[in-house]
Amino acid sequence: MDTTARDRVAQLDFWSSDVKIRPLGGGITNTNFTVEDRGRRFVARVGEDIPVHGVMRFNEIAAARAAHAAGISPEIVHSAEGVFVMRFIEGQSLTEEAVRNEKNLKRILHLIQTCHRELPKHFEGPALAFWPFHVCRNYIRIAKKGRSRRIDILPRFSEINEALEEAVGDVKLVFGHNDLLAANFMDDGKRLWLLDWDYAGYNAALFDLANLASNNAFTAEQEERLLEAYYQAPVTEARRFRFDAMKCVSLLRETLWSIVSEIHSTLDFDYIGYTEKNLARFEKAYELFRQNG
């Protein structure tokens, strides 16, 4: 357990008693704890700004508060430097298989649509943008400077990133979550919640859809139904082409995120294994994109 992080949580002036603090596993960016205070349960999330990943806590907290106001995320009840506290939700994080379940997909689509359409109405203060092609360019620079073990593939990644950005073309901005991993959805038995707003910001709607599909190994048929349901229209060849390009950059970004984390993260997580898993997914998606393009 990270005792320094635990001590920071214990010393918050929000608590009304001597609290019981337990580590909460699963985080690959932050250190999380469950906290019991006079019979009430909370989650405390500890993490400073992470410039190499573009994570700024003011933006994460503002997005999480807007998401709560929109009815899709737990309430933040306290924040301090490098830590915030939200209400505990009793439930289970989804798996990739659960995300692909048709019943869950309908509920997930509602969360995404609410994020895109309703969060800007509640978001207070300055907001970040999340343009995945810029993110990839920056990761490549950081990985080169850090003498990444995969420095050999970075020039190719740079060329692919530029080509994918051109393929996507002009976009209409929405407010995106931008990190739709299975673990960021929680089922409390009655409804789904969307968690972890570290990378939230203005982006193309198509990225969240592609990110959901690529992170959770959707079939082509599931992708088709997702696009039709979101846009309420048949999928055109042009939209499918742009979606496939976004899938590729989603997986490229996840691969590069892990490559950079190998260098800079101090959390106990198998980033090398995560890099290789996402690299394999990226190469498969990019080969299909080239064949179909």
Choosing from 63, 87, 111, the residue where a domain stops is: 87
Q: Band the pLDDT of 1: cuts 50, 70, 90.
A: very low
Do 11 and 153 sit in the same domain of this protein?
no
Residue span of the structural domain in which 185 resides: 92-292
Do 209 and 72 sit in the same domain of this protein?
no
At 24 the pLDDT is 87
Q: What is the CATH number of the domain that holds 80?
A: 3.30.200.20
Do 273 and 167 sit in the same domain of this protein?
yes
Q: What is the CATH number of the domain that holds 283?
A: 3.90.1200.10
Count of domains observed in the chain: 2
DSSP lists the bridge partners of residue 93 as 186
Region 101-111: what's the mean pLDDT?
A: 95
> CB within 8 A of 287, min separation 6: which ones?
none
Q: Measuring CA to CA, how many Å separate 251 from each of 40, 101, 142, 193, 277?
A: 39, 21, 18, 24, 10
Do 172 and 258 sit in the same domain of this protein?
yes
Do 198 and 256 sit in the same domain of this protein?
yes
Do 172 and 269 sit in the same domain of this protein?
yes
Q: State the DSSP string of 19-73.
A: PEEEEE---SSSEEEEEEETTEEEEEEE---BGGGTB-HHHHHHHHHHHHHTTSS
Do 252 and 157 sit in the same domain of this protein?
yes
Whether the per-residue pLDDT at 74 is higher than 80: the answer is yes
Asked whether 251 and 281 are in contact (CB, 8 A), the reply is yes
Buried-state track 31-53, b at ≥16 Cβ within 10 A, e below 16: bbbebebeeeebbbbbbeebebb
At 26 the pLDDT is 64
Region 244-256: what's the mean pLDDT?
A: 97
Do 70 and 98 sit in the same domain of this protein?
no
Round the average pLDDT of the chain to a whole number and report it. Answer: 95
For the stretch 267-277, pLDDT in tens is 888 999 999 99
Whether the per-residue pLDDT at 12 is higher than 60: the answer is yes
Choosing from 28, 56, 87, the residue where a domain stops is: 87
Choosing from 87, 119, 139, the residue where a domain stops is: 87
Region 148-171: what's the mean pLDDT?
A: 97
At 235 the pLDDT is 97
For the stretch 21-47, pLDDT in tens is 998 876 667 789 999 999 999 999 998
Do 103 and 135 sit in the same domain of this protein?
yes
Region 49-67: what's the mean pLDDT?
A: 96
Which of 30-34, 167-171, 228-232, 237-241 has the lowest average pLDDT? 30-34
Longest dimension (CA), the chain: 61
At 154 the pLDDT is 98
Q: What's the pTM? A: 0.92
Going by C-alpha positions, the residue among 1, 85, 92, 103 that lies closest to residue 35 is: 85
Share of the chain above pLDDT 90, in %: 90
Do 53 and 113 sit in the same domain of this protein?
no
Going by C-alpha positions, the residue among 56, 219, 215, 196 that lies closest to residue 115 is: 196
Do 191 and 78 sit in the same domain of this protein?
no
Region 245-260: what's the mean pLDDT?
A: 97
Do 78 and 129 sit in the same domain of this protein?
no
Question: What is the Cβ-side half-sphere exposure of residue 43, based on CA atoms within 13 angstroms?
Answer: 20
**Cα 13 from chain centre:** 30
